[in-house]
Amino acid sequence: MKKLFLFATVACAAWSVGVQNTFSQGNNYNRYPQENVTGIDNDAIYVPESWELGLDSLLNSWQVRHYTQKMRNDGYRETRPISDAVYMERLSKLNTVIELPYNGIVRNCIDMYVDKRRNMVEYMLGLENFYFPMIEEALDKNGLPDELKYLTIVESALNPTAFSHAGASGLWQFIHSTGKAYGMEINSLVDERRDPVKSTYAACQYFKNMYNIFGDWTLVIASYNCGSGNVQKAIRRAGGITDYWKIYPYLPKETRSYVPFFIAVNYVMNYYAQHQLYPVKTTLPPATDTVIVNQTLHFDQISAILGIEKDQLRYLNPQYKRDVIPGDRPRPLKLPTLQAYAFIEMQDTIAKYRVNELFTNRTLVTDIGASDNAKIIHRVRKGETLATVASRYGVSMSNLRRWNGLRSNKVARGKALTIYVDNGGHSYASNRSSSSSSSPSITASPSSSRSNSNTSDRVTAQHKKQVGTSTPYQRYKVKSGDSFYSIARKYPGYTHLDIMKMNNMSKNSLKIGQYIIVPKV
């Protein structure tokens, strides 16, 4: 099982790693020199060249452009140097379960946030109130340290649609295989890795599993980056010592910076004011509610009826990748509170709005001779075989066997056979020959041509009589939401195939404003 993460969108680090022992290659990293404070700072901090692209992604995201407002221009900030003693004192005062020690690596990571990425920090300070209450609740329910919430900043910069080059997605940056392993649905329409609630509970399960292995939260955090296999390998190489800072030299270089960045985020999100960092003002919905949807809906339907921006729907429900909520099972839909109440009252109206236009995929393609055609019962007479019955009604012998559960072509005299006959959507010809006078009449079904059958010829002739040149026509202008099915329902006795034949059209290719021929009533 492999888990890869890209931290490009966070403006701090992008590391692609495997849960067991596999790393992706080819990442280009910038090296930042470190001050030797504690004697452990011999390596450079590894951050991705895609750092700038990640920052651009954050600042140009929809939620930032629409729901944040800078409180001031980036002007004065404290320039006096802060001593190591001050950093150590501030970190020691944080009420945490996870150890947050200080050294030169941690200091450099802090500096990268408070100096090089001040704008990013201010935006995340403004956005955290939207996500952290939900994350804190999940962590609390699972008995996990509250400070683990800050991994979402290291992972995705609080961007639920963040997607790495390695295929990791969501606030917690799960790759496809790990998301599946932790019970998240991932398909063409839904990606629950992007669901803040679902992915947070999956991350909680991961933390609990790893803590059962290592019994140390710093090692759990390291494993979240490089995988448990690589942490265990580092422990073996260090002689069995289970101390992150002791196994530090044996960890992958990317992972050596991961825990320091986590410590730096804990510091910055608590002491931002001391660095003259100002949270952006947000106008995100002050209150939201979740409703349960039991049918397929499109965001266009919800947006139009409830008067809510489609982009906001996407932001509140990032797990629906193509603006469609599948109706195969009950699914959550997060809405601003007022719209949530309105949705409950207007759900039927929403479901009917532009439904034929927005959902054009066919849910059923009728099998030839299937149940949409006319059903008759034929009792086998003396001298009749399955072949003669099939020929008489213009159906295949294989269909006759399937409809009646027959394993061979033998059929006993007097047996009642169920037959589905395509009759062009109208009554079977009443002027049947005397040889067929005992056969029952049949009605209404979609039509298609049959060959090599006298019965089929009679059906076709009757069809021409009813919908042919003698039928009076009128023009009809196609409107939004129209289909041959919906139009045919306006004219009793006619099917959608009748209307298509009148217009010499073989598929449902109607366009708004187009004129077609329909029966005159």
Which is nearest to 142 in space by CA: 192, 96, 209, 196? 209
> Which member of 122, 128, 147, 155 is catalytic?
155
Residue 358, Ramachandran bin (φ over 0: left; ψ between -120 and 50: alpha; else beta): alpha
Tokens 């849910």 sit at which residue?
A: 363
Q: H or E segment at 298? A: strand 297-298
Per the CB < 8 A criterion, the answer to whether 244 and 218 are in contact is yes
Neighbours of 243 (CB within 10 A): 13
Which is nearest to 304 in space by CA: 355, 364, 369? 355
Cα distance from N-terminal residue to C-terminal residue, the chain? 66
Please provide residue 430's backbone torsions phi and psi, each rounded to the nearest 5 degrees: -80, -15
What is the residue-wise DSSP string for 173-213? TB-HHHHHHTT--BSSSBBGGG-HHHHHHHHHHHHHHHHHH
Q: Which residues pair with 281 in a beta bridge?
A: 69
- State the alpha helices, DSSP H only, in 272-363: 299-306, 310-316, 337-352, 355-358
Per the CB < 8 A criterion, the answer to whether 490 and 453 are in contact is no
- Tally the C-alpha atoms within 13 A of residue 463's C-alpha that lie toward its C-beta: 25
Q: At what angle do helices 337-352 and 299-306 cross, to 10 degrees?
A: 120
CA distance 76 to 85: 24
Residues 483-497 as b/e (b if ≥16 CB within 10 A, e otherwise) read bbeebbeeeeebbbb
Any idea what the Cα angle at residue 509 is, between residues 508 and 514, rounded to 5°? 120
Any idea what the Cα angle at residue 22 is, between residues 17 and 27, rounded to 5°? 50
Active site residue 155: yes
Handedness of CA 240, 243, 248, 252 (dihedral sign): positive
Active-site residues, by number, are: 155
